[in-house]
């Protein structure tokens, strides 16, 4: 009987030991699961989605970007650091980019030219062309963090379906400002870009861009802006990226008009042989055939060098 009791106790002890091991293993598995599917890291997603609420309700009124939160970024104090890094959050369950964050420094900037990114097909990607859009194509594979800032190329976590207008008129001026600051000062800029979706839409309604220069506590760079993913003259179905020309929108082009070159950044009208045309970047150049009065009514003015007629 004593032997039986000892054997029973041994069995119970082994059972309890196995149970404890099982509990420990279960806890470890839960921890691994949490690390894989939560948090903010190279494989995680941004955990401050509440800051994006309500942005889809903002209406485009002719400005490519508008200030949010008085222009002050949402960064927390513990995020300010002076060591370069870049992180790209995982795609969500709909295959959409969720955001990217970096502490930008000169050491992250590319030393080689950008390569081919045509292999990446962001959510909602469509190939659509319109004659009145600069370079013709409605959509670009739009970097959340520009190639000029981190050298990221065909990174599917960093590319969204963005209009040419948002890419060049909304985001580009801020990207150039940050790049110039980093190269000139050697300082760091805390930087974050997050696409904003409505429901299960495949195409973002816009992007929220935040930046804050570290060493000078925001005196050099400080902004928080929402860039609209729109294209004047085009109606976009954000659920899948399909689109059509907006027949109600006034067109810059007209039959029987003259040929002009527009600088969409300075809003200047140039004659095709104007010497200033060679200084216009591809991003900002738009060739049109139009009546000059129509262009002036749309907010453009004649170039002083050629006095376009």
Q: What is the pLDDT of residue 254?
A: 59
Q: What is the pLDDT of residue 19?
A: 52
Q: What is the pTM of this model?
A: 0.71
Q: What is the pLDDT of residue 225?
A: 97
CA distance 69 to 46: 18
Instruction: Look at residues 163, 161, 114, 176 and name the one whose alpha carbon lies nearest to residue 134.
Output: 163
Each residue's pLDDT tens digit, 280-295 = 887 678 777 777 777 7
CA distance 206 to 4: 74
- Using alpha carbons, list the distances in angstroms from residue 303 to 127, 269, 306: 34, 5, 6
Q: Region 237-258: what's the mean pLDDT?
A: 80
One-letter-per-residue 3-state SS of 113-147: CCCCCCCCCCCCCCCCECCCCCCCECEEEEECCCH
Domains of the chain with bracketed CATH = 49-245 (3.40.570.10), 258-302 (no CATH)
**pLDDT exceeds 50 at position 21:** no
Q: What is the pLDDT of residue 303?
A: 87
Query: How far is residue 266 CA from its own chain's centroid?
Result: 23
Percentage, residues of the chain above pLDDT 70: 80
Residue 265: pLDDT band (50, 70, 90) is: confident
The better pLDDT of the pair 252, 137 is held by 137
The better pLDDT of the pair 299, 160 is held by 160
Q: What is the pLDDT of residue 253?
A: 59
Count CB atoms within 10 A of the CB of residue 135.
13
The mean pLDDT value of the chain amounts to 84
Instruction: Output the CA torsion sign for 282, 288, 292, 296.
Output: negative
97: which 2 tokens? 């980019």
**pLDDT exceeds 80 at position 61:** yes
Q: Region 2-24: what's the mean pLDDT?
A: 48
Percentage, residues of the chain above pLDDT 90: 56
**pLDDT exceeds 50 at position 33:** no
Residue 13: pLDDT band (50, 70, 90) is: very low
Residue 64: pLDDT band (50, 70, 90) is: very high
**Complete DSSP assignment for 4-17:** HHHHHHHHHHHHHH
Each residue's pLDDT tens digit, 113-154 = 889 999 999 999 999 999 888 788 999 999 999 999 999 999
Does residue 28 sit in helix, strand or coil? Answer: helix
103: which 2 tokens? 């502490």
* 52 in Cβ contact with 208 (< 8 Å): yes
Each residue's pLDDT tens digit, 181-226 = 999 999 999 999 999 999 999 999 999 999 999 999 999 999 999 9
Residue 1: pLDDT band (50, 70, 90) is: very low
Q: What is the pLDDT of residue 14?
A: 47
Q: Region 53-79: what's the mean pLDDT?
A: 92
Q: Region 40-58: what's the mean pLDDT?
A: 69
Residue 27: pLDDT band (50, 70, 90) is: low
The better pLDDT of the pair 118, 44 is held by 118
């Amino acid at each position: 009987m004593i032997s039986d009791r000892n054997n029973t106790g041994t069995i119970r002890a082994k059972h309890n030991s196995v149970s404890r091991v099982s509990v420990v293993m279960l806890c470890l598995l839960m921890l691994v699961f949490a690390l894989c599917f939560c948090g903010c890291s190279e494989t995680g997603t941004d955990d401050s989605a509440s800051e994006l609420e309500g942005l889809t309700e903002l209406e485009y009124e002719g400005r490519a970007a508008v200030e949010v939160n008085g222009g002050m970024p949402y960064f927390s104090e513990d995020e300010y650091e002076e060591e370069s890094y870049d992180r790209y959050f995982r795609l969500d369950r709909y295959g959409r980019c969720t955001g990217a964050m970096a502490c930008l420094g000169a050491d992250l900037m590319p030393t080689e030219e950008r390569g081919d990114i045509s292999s990446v097909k962001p959510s909602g990607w469509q190939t659509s062309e319109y004659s009145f859009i600069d370079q013709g194509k409605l959509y670009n594979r739009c970097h959340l963090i520009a190639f000029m800032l981190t050298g990221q190329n065909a990174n599917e976590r960093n590319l969204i379906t963005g209009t040419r207008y948002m890419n060049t008129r909304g985001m580009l001026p801020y990207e150039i400002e940050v790049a110039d600051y980093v190269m000139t000062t050697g300082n760091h800029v805390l930087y974050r870009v997050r696409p904003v979706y409505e429901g299960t839409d495949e195409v973002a309604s816009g992007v929220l861009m935040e930046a804050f220069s570290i060493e000078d506590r925001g005196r050099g760079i400080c902004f928080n802006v929402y860039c609209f993913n729109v294209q004047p003259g085009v109606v976009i179905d954000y659920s899948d990226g399909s689109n059509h020309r907006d027949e109600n929108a006034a067109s810059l082009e007209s039959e029987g008009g003259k040929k002009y070159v527009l600088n969409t950044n300075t809003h200047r009208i140039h004659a095709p042989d104007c010497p200033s045309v060679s200084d216009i970047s591809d991003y900002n150049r738009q060739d049109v055939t139009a009546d000059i009065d129509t262009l002036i009514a749309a907010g453009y003015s004649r170039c002083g060098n050629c006095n376009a007629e």
